[in-house]
Amino acid sequence: MRAVVLENVAGPLEMREIDRPTPGEGQVLVRIHASGVNPLDIKIRAGRAPHARVRPPAVLGMDLAGQVVRTGPGVDGFTVGDEVYGLTGGVGDLQGSLAEYAAVDARLLARKPATLSMREAAALPLAVITAWEGLVDRAGVRPGQKVLVQGGAGGVGSVAVQIAAAHGAEVFATASEAKAPLVRHLGAVPIDYTTVPVDEYVAEHTGGAGFDIVYDTVGGPVLDASFQAVRTYTGHVVSSLGWGTHALAPLSFRGATYSGVFTLLPMLTGQGREHHGEILREAAVLADEGRLRPLLDETRYSLGQVADAHQAVQSGTAGGKVIVDVVA
């Protein structure tokens, strides 16, 4: 099969002919139609993601959508011909999705939303699982709560806005003035973080009480700001980029709580993989109800143009999730 291979860390991506994998116990062989490109892929390629490193030669690519063409022993719930999507590889020792086929742990997969194309489905897995684990699993989002999503126009943030809204929350999201219409379209009240200080938007939108849930998708000083924006006692801050050194005093003085999200843990350890499939099944329902849609970059990239796709993500010029069309 054809695959795009990283021969050396920080080196070029090269098209290669490699052996097509055979599905083992609990695996299915997926014919990959589309592969999503994430900022983390760029860091892994450059050797700047020690928590998700690969051992070259390696096939990168975490998100996929495709069709089951063969099932291994012990697989229940999938049959040949099923259209599936998932966060399945490109980290640790797991083969990624920049290839024509992948042998995938069936627990990491779900059937593709019927109303989404392969390209649209490939845009969702990492973002959906990251947003869901924070909002639903950690913070227990529920109707009537006020939720603030930091970075509401980004990959995870845009999905988090939609998931919070689908669970009945009143959603607010920080974004630049240029991204405000998009955030509003997704279902959130936009907050221009470039001009409005934290205390002002907390006063305006919560009467000074703070938000019930603050989901930080940006990290750094934005996580510090999140500690200042959360509700006293019952508030919960979640971050998918909670790394570095942070002062916990603002959070502690409110008696609020904090959770971190590390989406890759089941892939790297093998523990809890079933829950990834469960989340994706729930997300497929939301998508088919019209309550969850990915934001796609319009430029199309083939398997031979992966370097260009990576450059678009790295440069920040993409207008949404970048997708590589593995099947033309």
Average pLDDT over all residues of the chain: 97
Average pLDDT over residues 177-205: 97
Q: What number of CA atoms fall less than 13 Å from residue 108's CA on the CB side?
A: 30
- Asked whether residue 323 carries a pLDDT value surpassing 90, the answer given is yes
Structural domain spans, the chain? 2-123+294-325, 127-260
pLDDT band at residue 265, thresholds of 50, 70 and 90? very high
| Alpha-carbon dihedral angle through residues 37, 41, 42, 44, given to the nearest 10 degrees | -170
Q: How many CB atoms lie within 10 A of CB 250?
A: 18
Determine phi and psi for 77, rounding to 5 degrees.
Answer: 100, -10
pLDDT band at residue 217, thresholds of 50, 70 and 90? very high
What pLDDT, on a 0 to 100 scale, did the predictor assign at position 209? 98
Each residue of 41-64: pLDDT tens digit? 999 999 999 999 899 999 999 999
| Alpha-carbon dihedral angle through residues 106, 108, 114, 118, given to the nearest 10 degrees | -100
What pLDDT, on a 0 to 100 scale, did the predictor assign at position 287? 98
Strands of the sheet with 257-260, listed across from one edge: 189-192, 170-175, 146-150, 213-216, 236-239, 257-260
Each residue of 90-115: pLDDT tens digit? 999 999 999 999 999 999 999 999 99
pLDDT band at residue 181, thresholds of 50, 70 and 90? very high
- Specify the pTM: 0.98
Average pLDDT over residues 158-180: 98
Q: How many residues are given for the chain?
A: 328
Nearest alpha carbon to residue 156 among 183, 179, 180, 129 = 129
**290 Cβ partners below 8 Å, 6+ apart?**
115
Nearest alpha carbon to residue 107 among 313, 312, 324, 270 = 270
Please check whether residue 227 is in contact with residue 220, taking contact to mean a CB–CB distance below 8 angstroms.
no
Tokens 């900022």 identify what position? 39
pLDDT band at residue 254, thresholds of 50, 70 and 90? very high
CATH, domain range 127-260: 3.40.50.720
What pLDDT, on a 0 to 100 scale, did the predictor assign at position 321? 98
What pLDDT, on a 0 to 100 scale, did the predictor assign at position 143? 98
- CATH number for the 2-123+294-325 domain, one of 3.90.1150.170, 3.90.850.10, 3.20.20.120, 3.90.180.10? 3.90.180.10
Secondary structure, 3-state, 177-201: HHHHHHHHHHCCEEEECCCCCHHHH
pLDDT band at residue 213, thresholds of 50, 70 and 90? very high
Please check whether residue 187 is in contact with residue 158, taking contact to mean a CB–CB distance below 8 angstroms.
no
**107 Cβ partners below 8 Å, 6+ apart?**
26, 273, 274, 276, 277
- Asked whether residue 328 carries a pLDDT value surpassing 90, the answer given is no
Each residue of 110-151: pLDDT tens digit? 999 999 999 999 999 999 999 999 999 999 999 999 999 999
**286 Cβ partners below 8 Å, 6+ apart?**
162, 163, 166, 292
State percent of the chain over pLDDT 90.
98
Distance, CA of 171 to CA of 183 (rounded, Å): 10
In sequence order, the β-bridge partners of residue 115 are: none
What pLDDT, on a 0 to 100 scale, did the predictor assign at position 257? 98
